[in-house]
Chain A
Amino acid sequence: MHSSIQFIEYYLPEKVLTNKDLEELFPEWNATKISEKIGINQRHISSSEQTSVDLAYEAANKVFSKFEKSKIDFLLLCTQSPDYYLPASACVLQSKLGLRTNIGALDFNQGCSGYIYGLSLAKGLISSNIAQNVLLITSETYSKFIYSKDKSNRSIFGDGAAATIISGSNEQKIFNFDLGTNGDGMNNLIVPNGGLRVPFDCNPIEISDSSSTRTNNHLYMNGPEIFNFTIDNVPITVDSCLKKNNILIDEIDFVIFHQANKYMLNHLRKKMRIPENKFYINLENTGNTVSSTIPIALKDAINKNLVKKGDKILLVGFGVGYSWGSTIIQL
């Protein structure tokens, strides 16, 4: 059985953090510069009571207005901010959503590559006849990992969730994948404390550099090194994905990369000679929502008629891990 994406919906928390808000919090921070360089004007932030499961719940219910939830026979939840160490948040969500109990459900822990990995898992489940209708949810609340004085990460990341229905189909609409992993880069995007390797520190010291202040209980991102990682790996995965699908870049109608930041995306686009009119930049009102940037962009591109049925769309995710992946889909 082949597979195809049926529906996508997303949910963003109500609370918004604007560049003006950031400028008030950090007077040395230039909102105009942030906006122009990283392409973000605002990001949505979950409330203190709102978790990834809550955002996932909202996104799923939006998609259930278009697809009967009793037909779902597998739930995949991509999150790095689960409600509990155990049980799996997918189990919590299955109950909360009132999904059938004779279905599979699991969490998988990936960040910016998560949507691509989710599509690959959904395709595998369908092609092996384990499932017919997979609900893939990406949901993150990175804001809860970010230290209040960390202006760099607070300006980049936003919270959000996306729900995608992938179903069996007669025609293959999710093509071949190229996936990659290099754990050598683990320390360049990490929450160092709070797991079982290094416990949460009740009296953490503040660590400052030229751009921000954080503690080891919070998110750390080595931006320049992450940029180097993307320069090294994104062109290779794109090339490899095209070859695995016997498709030339000129035959691709639209390109959606993980929406990391505008500057990085434009550099990659120019380096890979992808025409500007085929390349989507879509993080102005959401920021970097980690695993949800690709489905959010895809949904927005559909709504704005930037893509149409039959178009070949190249999707590329890359980031924390390091982990990356790419595929081509047709609507």
Chain B
Amino acid sequence: MKIKEFITFFKEYLEIENTEITLETEFLSISEFDSLGRMTLIALVDEHFEKKIKAQDFNNLIKIRDLVKHIGIENFEDYHD
């Protein structure tokens, strides 16, 4: 998957409309990232990558980039640090 496509999914799933999301966006700045938002993110990652996000994993997710790394950069054809 391309990063742009992933971010589109991320915004769709969390119903984010008017906020720009990049790899550097911090989760704390996303108001939609509440308990429901976390559940939605678990669904997104399960559906598209068959990966888990455990409750303790959320503590290590500071930026969107951390989420991409958690999913595994091998799943993103255009990812670079």
User: Are B42 and A37 in touch, CB under 8 angstroms?
Assistant: no
User: Are A228 and B34 in touch, CB under 8 angstroms?
Assistant: no
Q: Fill in one digit per residue for A14-40: 1 if any B CB lies within 8 Å of its CB, else 0.
A: 000000000000000000010001100
- A112→B58 CA distance, assembly (Å): 26
Q: Is the interface of B mostly helix, strand, loop or mixed?
A: helix
- A37→B33 CA distance, assembly (Å): 14
- A247→B36 CA distance, assembly (Å): 35
Stretch of B1-9, B18-26, B45-53, B70-78 at the chain-chain interface: B45-53
Size range of the chain A interface in the assembly:
20 to 34
Task: Contacts A210-B35, A212-B35 given; indicate if A222 touches B43 (C-beta within 8 A).
Answer: no
Size range of the chain B interface in the assembly:
10 to 19
User: Are B47 and A264 in touch, CB under 8 angstroms?
Assistant: no
- A224→B38 CA distance, assembly (Å): 6
Closest to B44 in A: A267
Task: Give the Cβ gap from B37 to chain A, nearest Cβ, in Å.
Answer: 8
A210 touches which of B15, B34, B55 (Cβ 8 Å): B34
| B62 CB within 8 Å of chain A | no
Residues of B within 8 Å of A209, CB to CB, are 35
Task: Give the Cβ gap from A227 to chain B, nearest Cβ, in Å.
Answer: 5
Task: Give the Cβ gap from B26 to chain A, nearest Cβ, in Å.
Answer: 13
Interface centre among B15, B39, B40 (most CB of A within 10 A): B39
Q: Is the interface of A mostly helix, strand, loop or mixed?
A: helix
User: Are A224 and B35 in touch, CB under 8 angstroms?
Assistant: yes
Task: Give the Cβ gap from B31 to chain A, nearest Cβ, in Å.
Answer: 9
| B80 CB within 8 Å of chain A | no
User: Are A224 and B46 in touch, CB under 8 angstroms?
Assistant: no
Task: Contacts A33-B15, A222-B55, A267-B47 given; indicate if A227 touches B36 (C-beta within 8 A).
Answer: no
- A228→B55 CA distance, assembly (Å): 9
- A99→B33 CA distance, assembly (Å): 51
Give chain A's interface residues, CB within 8 Å of chain B: 33, 37-38, 152, 188, 209-212, 222-225, 227-228, 231, 263-264, 267, 270-271
Give chain B's interface residues, CB within 8 Å of chain A: 15, 33-36, 38-40, 42-43, 46-47, 52-55, 58
What are the 6 closest A-B residue pairs judged by CB atoms, nearest first? A211-B35, A224-B38, A225-B55, A211-B34, A267-B43, A223-B35
A sample of 30 cross-chain residue pairs with beta-carbon separation below 8 angstroms, ordered by A number, consists of A33-B36, A37-B36, A38-B36, A152-B35, A152-B36, A188-B55, A210-B34, A211-B35, A211-B36, A223-B35, A223-B36, A223-B39, A224-B35, A224-B42, A224-B58, A225-B54, A227-B39, A227-B42, A227-B43, A228-B52, A228-B54, A231-B42, A231-B46, A231-B52, A263-B40, A264-B39, A267-B43, A267-B46, A267-B47, A271-B46
